[in-house]
Chains A and B, each alone.
Chain A
Amino acid sequence: MTLAYTPSNLDEALQILADHPDTVLVAGCTDLMVVDYAMGRRHDAVLDLLAVPELHGIAVSDDAISIGATTKFREILNHAEVQKNYPMLAEVAGTVGGWQIQNRATIGGNIANASPAGDSLPVLLALGAQVEVRGAAGPRIIPYEAMHLGYRRVDLRPGELITRVRIQKPAANTVQMYKKVGTRAAQAISKVVVGLCATIVDDSVAEIRIGAGSVAATPVRLDRTEARVRGARLEPSLADEAGRIASTEVAPIDDVRSTAEYRSFVLGRVVRRMLLNMISGETGPNSTAGSGS
């Protein structure tokens, strides 16, 4: 029989983790239970993070939001402040599985599970999120770029857990764009996913961050593409060039969902389209999970 810890607060959870470092952390279980069942896997001890009140919920301040690690995607999707000032995050939350999965999957779980295809991860990169973690040695704040160390590896030390995700409120002249190219229109796993955040001043791109998923072992920033666009004047030739750079600066792989060739091509097309849309002013939600719009 599995030993299940259901700590009533964060300190208790950290203490259990310190005393029993092999304890498996569980939250929405949308990946863990799949693997457990497929492999016939049992755990000696689990710690239910959903029991810890401090880890749940969205706190809003004037300049940021702080999302508890066990907040479900459905809660993020329906949150008024997220919808208003972080629309890309609301949008991505609506493309994580179907309703039943959105009711269970958590943002902290998506980060810790660290799938290269994790939908929300490129968006967190683009929004410049910070991950708050805590362990017996105290809290740390990790900029999202530094969170993913390698394939399915995150910067969490033994005894640490993700507590919250903090996102600075984007400036008023910021555009946010998200596109998921998935295997179908719902309940889809991404073949390419792109989140883009840009600040536009006088028809030029003052600042830009582009996160891409499913194109490398971890979610990545498109550094070379960003470097070309940053400070440049928005015009169609810039979009074409950015698309070309984007499609060559990553080396995706063939896998069960797509081909390397297609992924590179589509990444370039999506980045190009986002820049063209900035020019035309069509920067509203253009997410699609798979098929068309």
Chain B
Amino acid sequence: MTQPPRPREVGQSRPRIDGRDKVTGAARYVDDLNVPGMWHGATVRSPHPAARIDSIDFSRARQADPEVAAITAADLPGPNVVKLIAEDWPILAAEEVHHVGEAVAIVVAPTRERARAAADRVDVTYTEVPGALTLDDALRGDPRVGGQVNVLASSNIDWGDVDQGLADADHIVEGEYETGWQEHIYIEPQGMIAIPQDDGSVEIVGSMQCPYYVQHALAHALSLEPDMVRVRHVATGGGFGGKEDFPDMLGAHAALLARKIKRPVKIVYDRHEDIVATTKRHPSRVRIRTGVAADGRLLAQDIEVVLDGGAYITLSPVVLSRAVIHAAGPYACPNVRIQGRVLATNTVPNGAFRGFGAPQSQFAAERQMDRIGRRLGIDPYTIRERNAYRVGDTTPTGQVLKESVSAIECLQEAETRTRFRERWQQFENARANAPDDGRPVRGLGLSLVWHGSGFTGNGEQRMNSPVTIRLNEAGAVEVRVAATEFGQGTTMVLQQMVADAVGVTAADIVVVNPDTVEVPDSGPTVASRTVMVVGGILVRAGKGLADQLMQFAKSDAASPIDCGPETNELELKAGQLLDESGAVLGSFSDIAAAYVASYGTLDITERFEAMPGIEFDEETYRGAAYSAYGWACDIIELEVDPDTLAVSLTDATLVYDVGKAIHPAMCRGQVEGGTLQALGYGFMEEIKLKDGAYMNDRLATYIIPTIRDTPDMDTVLIENPTPSGAFGAKGVGEIPMDGGAPAVLSAIENATGIVAAGIPATPERLFSDRMAGRVVSNDRAGSAKPAEGGPA
């Protein structure tokens, strides 16, 4: 990889490009768009978690509204599958349904209201069959596969000799940890418009993260060549992973209806339907058995990860892969065994959600560190400091961490800002002597996490994504990539990075809206890869463009610049061409205009190039799982009402190594927003099911944090650059999802002594945990017995 250019735009927090449109109401999201002649679609959904479809009858719907048209699985022009990793997720259920809310038929009518009314009048008869409604059911055996355990995916890591490590240990600490579903709650629900074209192609306009995923899935479903499906991104009101996989399904529904009635069709979900139908975060059960030396060093970790995949495979294998690779936490340990499985249940498929498996497995890893600390009488800070990765340590995949390892720095900075150890101990002491005055009790909790940036293993090599930079007719520089803006600031950071790569100002850069006819498939907007990976390729392309223009300026007859034959080194800087002495020879715009006049537009296309020595064996899980890792320490301070066990978060100290903050304000925004989502996951957000159906499918019942539930945040960005990312940057989108939940539970434990078994740690859950005796051991009536089983 080439040396990064000296940053001028990078590192500045400029006003967002899309800010003005968003604060004035001028930004147009999919539901704000009306296409002439457009009708509206609606979906008929299964009320049963597992059933055979006996019949689908549209006569009542047609009688009430003769204009209504409908589609079932029998009408599909291509394979009945939303193509992700496996081909098992039907566009419309054909013979059987596997979860409540599964689409059985789609209808279309001139207005949204009429479409919804028509869907309500479709009569579907079912015969219910047994299913696996919960993870417990799934572990007992799934009736759909003859009572066997229905494993959708598995991944294993085996490093060192775990049995020997456990035998050598002074203490064995065992723990089991549970996490629930989480719903994305992007504020803009999912929506798509499909516009059929005269040539048989179709245009899709909508709310999404990955235009090319939608194109590929639709080409497959409609049996069209990919270039017959044009996908155009519009302003998107949040994603968090939820608009990575599901837009393929919604896009297919809209396109099928549009092609049937030969009119544009819009489908926009209301919140209720969005919660009922779209993918969620995988629930998890993680069991850990750790062998620890007397001084607190980890000697062996034996970890079992089970994820609930829901009814179909969707993205589960890659979610599991990330869960497994992060499951031992950011801690050195010579012997590690991690066994991961995803099991099927008759619930909505679980899919992509910020963090992608790592929040689940690291929740367990972090709570296990607290448990080890308690057993050995070591505070949460010290047990982590003793074991955290340093440069030169080796991960369970055998990857030697050569640089940009900031676990200790993050811990120390967080300790400095909060006096964690001293105050944690004060709260421990206060708990023992708390008066019964009804005043809230305080606690501090800490977590330390790592998160691999970009795709796991060889994913980037395999995708071999191209990016294009174009010098356009007007002499401006266009960035052409498929990376989408859904709030995180993609457009802004692409502009900044390319400006510096070329040597112009941000105002000279135009970021082209992702549209499959305009931009190459630079890969999906997921996995915290945009800045680090896409940005890295763009920097090379930008330098290539600059080199070509400088060559032109120096030696072409049409050059407006007279540099003289003795000039060797030219430089483009902030839109000016400079010679070795720094004297201004001319402007970028003059050179660009002269170039375009002589040769026309100029495209520079570059593809991903792996760092030398970064290899991963996907069969054995050996090698460099990621080329760089982000590191973070979260410290949460909170109060608990002793009467109600209601938790109030007061302060969050968030120390994050991001490599390089391209736009520091947006970086903070990612850290703070992700942290609040993680905190909600930890103590508030809960999907409750009854007989396979969500009980809380509304915003009044699926509770997310309000501004009054939110702590004051002290955010610190550490810049420990990685050579594998643009300007040294590492991914920042997902890591803030990892540490919030365990830190909250750690703080609840410090305040109340309750060792919560899982998340969300709602007051109800804390109450039943306390009733069940899940409290720290020295709080139990002076008993000296260890809290956990296993030999001591």
| Residue numbers in A under 8 Å from B768 (CB-CB) | 259, 261-262
Q: How far is the CB of A190 from chain B (nearest CB, A)?
A: 12
Q: How far is the CB of A185 from chain B (nearest CB, A)?
A: 4
> Which residue of B639, B649, B688 contacts A256 across the interface (Cβ within 8 Å)?
B688
Q: Which of B419-440 contact A (CB under 8 A)?
A: 436-438, 440
Give Cα distance in the complex from A273 to B439, angstroms: 10
| Residue numbers in A under 8 Å from B130 (CB-CB) | none
Could you tell me if A291 and B703 are in contact, using CB atoms closer than 8 angstroms? no
> Which residue of A185, A272, A276, A293 contacts B709 across the interface (Cβ within 8 Å)?
A185
Could you tell me if B438 and A292 are in contact, using CB atoms closer than 8 angstroms? no
Mark each residue of chain A from 232 to 274: 1 if its CB lies under 8 Å from any CB of chain B, else 0: 0000000000000000000000001111011001100110110
Contacts A262-B764, A291-B641; A277 near B438 (Cβ below 8 A): yes
| Residue numbers in B under 8 Å from A189 (CB-CB) | 700-701
Does any Cβ of B come within 8 Å of A186's Cβ?
yes
Give Cα distance in the complex from A273 to B643, angstroms: 8
Does any Cβ of A come within 8 Å of B767's Cβ?
yes
The number of residue pairs between A and B whose CB atoms lie closer than 8 Å in the complex comes to: 82
Contacts A38-B272, A187-B706, A261-B768; A293 near B643 (Cβ below 8 A): no
Q: Which of B113-121, B154-162, B259-267 contacts A (4 or more CB under 8 A)?
A: B113-121
| Residue numbers in B under 8 Å from A34 (CB-CB) | 700
| Residue numbers in B under 8 Å from A98 (CB-CB) | 706
- Report, as a range, how many residues of chain B touch the other chain: 20 to 34
Give Cα distance in the complex from A276 to B643, angstroms: 12
Could you tell me if A184 and B709 are in contact, using CB atoms closer than 8 angstroms? yes
Could you tell me if A261 and B440 are in contact, using CB atoms closer than 8 angstroms? no
| Residue numbers in A under 8 Å from B785 (CB-CB) | none
Could you tell me if B646 and A290 are in contact, using CB atoms closer than 8 angstroms? yes
Closest to A39 in B: B120
> Which residue of B438, B646, B701, B703 contacts A273 across the interface (Cβ within 8 Å)?
B438
Q: How far is the CB of B606 from chain A (nearest CB, A)?
A: 48
Does any Cβ of B come within 8 Å of A138's Cβ?
no
Does any Cβ of B come within 8 Å of A288's Cβ?
yes
Give Cα distance in the complex from A140 to B508, angstroms: 75
Could you tell me if A292 and B646 are in contact, using CB atoms closer than 8 angstroms? yes
Mark each residue of chain A from 2 to 42: 1 if its CB lies under 8 Å from any CB of chain B, else 0: 00000000000000000000000000000000100010100
Could you tell me if A262 and B705 are in contact, using CB atoms closer than 8 angstroms? no
Contacts A257-B701, A258-B764, A262-B763; A292 near B641 (Cβ below 8 A): yes
Could you tell me if A276 and B646 are in contact, using CB atoms closer than 8 angstroms? no
Does any Cβ of B come within 8 Å of A183's Cβ?
yes
Mark each residue of chain B from 705 to 719: 1 if its CB lies under 8 Å from any CB of chain A, else 0: 111110000000000
Q: How far is the CB of A116 from chain B (nearest CB, A)?
A: 15
Mark each residue of chain A from 185 to 202: 1 if its CB lies under 8 Å from any CB of chain B, else 0: 111110000000000000
Could you tell me if A186 and B706 are in contact, using CB atoms closer than 8 angstroms? yes
Mark each residue of chain A from 47 to 69: 1 if its CB lies under 8 Å from any CB of chain B, else 0: 00000000000000000000000
| Residue numbers in A under 8 Å from B640 (CB-CB) | 292
Q: Which of B666-717 contact A (CB under 8 A)?
A: 684, 688, 695-696, 700-701, 703, 705-709
Q: How far is the CB of B120 from chain A (nearest CB, A)?
A: 7
Give Cα distance in the complex from A256 to B686, angstroms: 10
| Residue numbers in B under 8 Å from A205 (CB-CB) | none
Does any Cβ of B come within 8 Å of A212's Cβ?
no
Give Cα distance in the complex from A34 to B117, angstroms: 17
Closest to B440 in A: A292
Could you tell me if B701 and A265 are in contact, using CB atoms closer than 8 angstroms? no
Does any Cβ of A come within 8 Å of B505's Cβ?
no
Give Cα distance in the complex from A280 to B437, angstroms: 9
| Residue numbers in A under 8 Å from B437 (CB-CB) | 280
| Residue numbers in A under 8 Å from B644 (CB-CB) | 181, 266, 269-270, 288
Give Cα distance in the complex from A291 to B647, angstroms: 5
Could you tell me if A265 and B706 are in contact, using CB atoms closer than 8 angstroms? no
Could you tell me if A292 and B639 are in contact, using CB atoms closer than 8 angstroms? yes
Residue of B436, B641, B695 most packed against chain A (CB within 10 A): B641
Does any Cβ of A come within 8 Å of B201's Cβ?
no
Residue of A38, A98, A290 most packed against chain B (CB within 10 A): A290
> Which residue of B113, B117, B646, B703 contacts A288 across the interface (Cβ within 8 Å)?
B646
Could you tell me if B706 and A276 are in contact, using CB atoms closer than 8 angstroms? no
Does any Cβ of A come within 8 Å of B648's Cβ?
yes
> Which residue of B113, B688, B695, B706 contacts A185 across the interface (Cβ within 8 Å)?
B706
| Residue numbers in B under 8 Å from A258 (CB-CB) | 764
Could you tell me if A293 and B767 are in contact, using CB atoms closer than 8 angstroms? no
Closest to B683 in A: A291
Q: Which of B117-152 contact A (CB under 8 A)?
A: 117, 120
| Residue numbers in B under 8 Å from A280 (CB-CB) | 437
Could you tell me if B120 and A184 are in contact, using CB atoms closer than 8 angstroms? no
> Which residue of A40, A188, A262 contacts B117 across the interface (Cβ within 8 Å)?
A40
Give Cα distance in the complex from A185 to B649, angstroms: 10
> Which residue of B639, B700, B767 contacts A262 across the interface (Cβ within 8 Å)?
B767
Give Cα distance in the complex from A270 to B649, angstroms: 21
Q: Which of B765-784 contact A (CB under 8 A)?
A: 767-768
| Residue numbers in B under 8 Å from A293 (CB-CB) | 440, 639, 641, 648
Closest to A269 in B: B643
Give Cα distance in the complex from A23 to B763, angstroms: 43
| Residue numbers in A under 8 Å from B116 (CB-CB) | 40
Give Cα distance in the complex from A277 to B763, angstroms: 22
| Residue numbers in B under 8 Å from A272 (CB-CB) | 643
Could you tell me if A270 and B643 are in contact, using CB atoms closer than 8 angstroms? yes
Closest to A286 in B: B438
| Residue numbers in A under 8 Å from B647 (CB-CB) | 291-292
Give Cα distance in the complex from A93 to B446, angstroms: 37
Give Cα distance in the complex from A189 to B698, angstroms: 13
Give Cα distance in the complex from A187 to B710, angstroms: 13
Give Cα distance in the complex from A257 to B641, angstroms: 18
Closest to B707 in A: A186
Contacts A256-B688, A256-B695; A184 near B438 (Cβ below 8 A): no
Could you tell me if A288 and B700 are in contact, using CB atoms closer than 8 angstroms? no
Q: How far is the CB of B767 from chain A (nearest CB, A)?
A: 5
Residue of B440, B639, B643, B768 most packed against chain A (CB within 10 A): B643
Give Cα distance in the complex from A269 to B646, angstroms: 13
Q: How far is the CB of B756 from chain A (nearest CB, A)?
A: 14
| Residue numbers in A under 8 Å from B701 (CB-CB) | 189, 256-257
Give Cα distance in the complex from A277 to B438, angstroms: 9
Closest to B642 in A: A269
Could you tell me if B648 and A185 are in contact, using CB atoms closer than 8 angstroms? yes
| Residue numbers in B under 8 Å from A183 (CB-CB) | 703
Closest to A185 in B: B708
Give Cα distance in the complex from A98 to B700, angstroms: 12
Q: How far is the CB of B698 from chain A (nearest CB, A)?
A: 8
Give Cα distance in the complex from A185 to B763, angstroms: 13
Give Cα distance in the complex from A277 to B437, angstroms: 8
Give Cα distance in the complex from A290 to B703, angstroms: 12
| Residue numbers in A under 8 Å from B684 (CB-CB) | 184
Residue of A183, A256, A288 most packed against chain B (CB within 10 A): A256
Could you tell me if B641 and A288 are in contact, using CB atoms closer than 8 angstroms? yes
| Residue numbers in A under 8 Å from B696 (CB-CB) | 256
Closest to A271 in B: B643
Closest to A181 in B: B644
Give Cα distance in the complex from A153 to B566, angstroms: 95
Closest to A42 in B: B113
13 contacts between A and B (CB under 8 A): A40-B120, A181-B644, A188-B703, A256-B695, A256-B696, A257-B701, A261-B764, A262-B767, A266-B644, A269-B644, A270-B644, A272-B643, A292-B639
6 other A-B residue contacts (CB within 8 Å) besides A265-B767, A273-B438: A187-B706, A270-B644, A272-B643, A291-B641, A291-B649, A291-B709
Q: Which 7 A-B pairs have the closest CB atoms?
A: A292-B648, A185-B708, A269-B643, A186-B708, A291-B648, A186-B706, A262-B764
User: Using a CB–CB distance below 8 Å, which chain A residues touch chain B?
Assistant: 34, 38, 40, 98, 181, 183-189, 256-259, 261-262, 265-266, 269-270, 272-273, 276-277, 280, 286, 288, 290-293
User: Using a CB–CB distance below 8 Å, which chain B residues touch chain A?
Assistant: 113, 116-117, 120, 272, 436-438, 440, 639-641, 643-644, 646-649, 684, 688, 695-696, 700-701, 703, 705-709, 763-764, 767-768
